[in-house]
Amino acid sequence: MGNSLGEGVVNPGGLKIGNRKSALRQSGVRVTERRNPAATALDTRSTKAILQIINHEDRGVAVAVRKTLPQIARAVDLAVDAIRAGGRMVYLGAGTSGRLGVLDASECLPTFGCESVIGVLAGAPVALTRSLEGVEDSSQQATRDLRKIRFSSSDLLVGISASGAAAYVIGGMRWARKMGAKVVGLTCNPAAPLKPFANVCIIPVVGPEVVAGSSRMKAGTAQKLVLNMLSTATMVRLGRVLSNRMINVQLTNQKLWKRGGRILSELTGRSESEATKILKASGRKLPVAILMATKRIPRVEAERVIRQSPNVAQVLREAMGEVNS
């Protein structure tokens, strides 16, 4: 498959498109806003050809994210330090970027039993379901929104902006740095204006979108992958996952109740009926139930042990004799 701009680009549909002059004309445009030569004449393509082009472009997203693993690791360490010290990890964004932050944050309580990850979206709650593009232009509003959640120097701020130029995000990052808080930037633009305000900057470069400027596509996918890694690795490091089991899952519906019983049974060797009884006796708290089942102690004692431990997974491993497994 050809890809020389000098000779023209051949896209998955087989059409020769693009040239060096058109590439040079875009050199001063943010990468998230540039036209993608592989998608020229997209509107003339068949349904299958459109999907092939999108899928072909998406293949590079995971590769771009992989190149940022060292920066993601540093961000995870900052998040772990903040939460262990009583702070929070706060996602700040506008539009698609902000919604992705809210989505990731909202999953941390039911999945990991953690309320220390917060999503702040410009224009929320209306902006959750409706596009309010103008709200990203106010840097002062970011400060007001962060003050509403009592953001402090003990918190970690993660500013999310595909272009890295949203005034709302930059304003929040600048204010957080002045307060003495650690700040992470997540963008898909290597020349992002937010870079000077971040202690760590995560920049998966995914290139121009199939629909020029529609950063909900590859850039959004890259941001979602990074946020998945950031929150999940942080929760694992904090002892909220045992092996690969979500031991802090909130048992709030039948599906999750059954999952909790299955996890308890697998970890302790108890039958399903025994697991159900222990879960009920634990107050529907899976870590407490696991400790009750393995050490054969009452709920009050199990809760005390867990409350005093900085790492629940380690306590449970020790109780099950799996310290070195």
**Coil, strand or helix at 97:** helix
> Which residue is listed with tokens 């993601």?
72
29 Cβ neighbours under 8 A, 6+ residues apart: none
Of 7, 33, 57, 107, the catalytic one is: 107
User: Beta 182-186 vs 200-202: how paired, if at all?
Assistant: parallel
Angle between helices 286-295 and 299-307 (to 10 degrees): 110
Q: Are 292 and 302 in contact (CB under 8 A)?
A: yes
Q: Which of 10, 12, 8, 2 is nearest to 50 (CA)?
A: 12
Of 57, 136, 209, 303, the catalytic one is: 136
Distance CA 84, CA 141 (A): 29
Mark whether 33 is an active-site residue: no
Residue 229 tokens, joined: 């890694």
Q: Which residues pair with 17 in a beta bridge?
A: 9
Mark whether 209 is an active-site residue: no
Residues designated as active site: 107, 136
